[in-house]
Amino acid sequence: RIVVIGSANADLVLDIDHRPAAGETVLGSDLVVTPGGKGANQAVAAGRLGGDVAFVGCVGDDGYGELLRRSLTDAGVDVTHLRTVPGASGNAIILLTPDGENSIIVSPSANRRVTEELVEESRAAWAGAAVMVLQLEIPLATVAHAATTAHAAGVRVILNAAPAAALPPEVLAAADPLVVNESEAAFLLGGVPAAAAEPGGAAATAVALLDLGPRSVVLTLGADGAVLAARGAEPGHVPARKVTAVDTTGAGDAFVGALAVELADGRDLRTAVERATDVAAVAVGRRGAQASYPAREEVR
């Protein structure tokens, strides 16, 4: 079993010609509302691939809460520990501009209610799990509590340190693997540019991340694939599939969800990264985040 503890957001997506300056009003496209949030995305990705997945999180009692809940259940995710709390669901307001530099505002709302207490209440869901998956769109105290208690209970913790935030050593030490992209890696290493343009630079970055304490590291490199590093082994590079990228939204989440399924099934890290790379390649070839995630048959 895989347990994902994390965020669920309704993504409110608008195309605009240019981002409004102070005091300016601009017209946008029709609003598109899609289920998102790193936690829910990863749970849906894993569920679509046939994983036995439970999601622990919070949505609001607004209409978005129902949308988010339905997307999880449609993917076969167990939502016994998905709480509906009074007030707004989490939202991400995503402004897509022709320059490709999209602007995003995340409003955590219900995700702030994913507390240590909820982690304890859902202990039955994760205590016997093979893998717990965590990201940083819920309170960091909750992530720290979940990571350290799950690790102590013998549950393998996949820690996707996104969006970038400082983490205490005991949380990093619980990660196996720590999964980050290049900008998150640079943040964790104190703002040192990842120098990941050359494969050798990325391998050095992955090894530097390993020195922060995790058992293993996966550094994702977009169209350049991913580098993995583990104690006592040479770092390895897994190239990405050559695909025409249509929409990379949620590619990292598809990758993490697939990684969780493979590691829960007992695959070694390299094999798991190879299969996650295949799944992410399908996801970048289609529009949307959760909408782009493939079923297992589609990946072959």
The minimum distance between CB 164 and ligand ADP, in angstroms, equals 11
In which residue are the tokens 């999964």 written? 179
Q: Is 253 a catalytic residue?
A: yes
Residue 271 contacts ligand ADP per CB under 6 A: no
Candidates 254, 249, 242; CA nearest to 279 is 254
- CB proximity list for 141: less than 8 A, separation 6 or greater: 116
Count Cβ atoms within 10 A of the Cβ of residue 27 and give its class: 0-12 exposed, 13-18 middle, 19 or more buried. Answer: exposed
- Of 243 and 295, which has the nearer Cβ to ligand ADP? 243
The minimum distance between CB 276 and ligand ADP, in angstroms, equals 7
The minimum distance between CB 143 and ligand ADP, in angstroms, equals 17
Count Cβ atoms within 10 A of the Cβ of residue 7 and give its class: 0-12 exposed, 13-18 middle, 19 or more buried. Answer: buried
Residue 71 contacts ligand ADP per CB under 6 A: no
Candidates 235, 288, 295; CA nearest to 35 is 288
What order of strands is seen across the sheet that includes strand 236-238? 82-85, 53-60, 2-5, 131-134, 156-160, 175-180, 216-220, 226-230, 236-238
Q: Cα separation of 175 and 160, whole Å?
A: 9
The minimum distance between CB 60 and ligand ADP, in angstroms, equals 26
Letters for 185-224 (x = contact with ligand ADP by CB under 6 A, - = none) are -----------------------------------xxxx-
The minimum distance between CB 22 and ligand ADP, in angstroms, equals 29
Annotated catalytic residue: which of 15, 17, 253, 265?
Answer: 253
- Of 197 and 243, which has the nearer Cβ to ligand ADP? 243
Query: Which residues ranging from 235 to 254 are in contact with ligand ADP (CB under 6 A)?
Result: 240-241, 243, 245, 248, 251-252
Q: Cα separation of 190 and 177, whole Å?
A: 20
- Coil, helix or strand for 78? strand
Q: Which stretch binds ligand ADP (CB under 6 A): 57-65, 127-135, 280-288, 290-298?
A: 280-288
- Of 95 and 283, which has the nearer Cβ to ligand ADP? 283
Q: Which stretch binds ligand ADP (CB under 6 A): 68-76, 115-123, 203-211, 273-281?
A: 273-281
Residue 165 contacts ligand ADP per CB under 6 A: no
Q: Which two tokens stand for residue 144?
A: 């720290």
* Cβ-proximal residue to ligand ADP, closest one: 252
Count Cβ atoms within 10 A of the Cβ of residue 237 and give its class: 0-12 exposed, 13-18 middle, 19 or more buried. Answer: middle
- Of 111 and 277, which has the nearer Cβ to ligand ADP? 277
The minimum distance between CB 165 and ligand ADP, in angstroms, equals 15
- CB proximity list for 170: less than 8 A, separation 6 or greater: 144, 148
For CA atoms 148, 150, 151, 157, give the dihedral sign.
negative
Pick from 108, 225, 235, 288 the residue near ligand ADP by CB under 6 A: 225
Binding interface with ligand ADP (CB under 6 A): 181, 220-223, 225-226, 240-241, 243, 245, 248, 251-252, 255, 277, 280-281, 284
Catalytic residues: 253
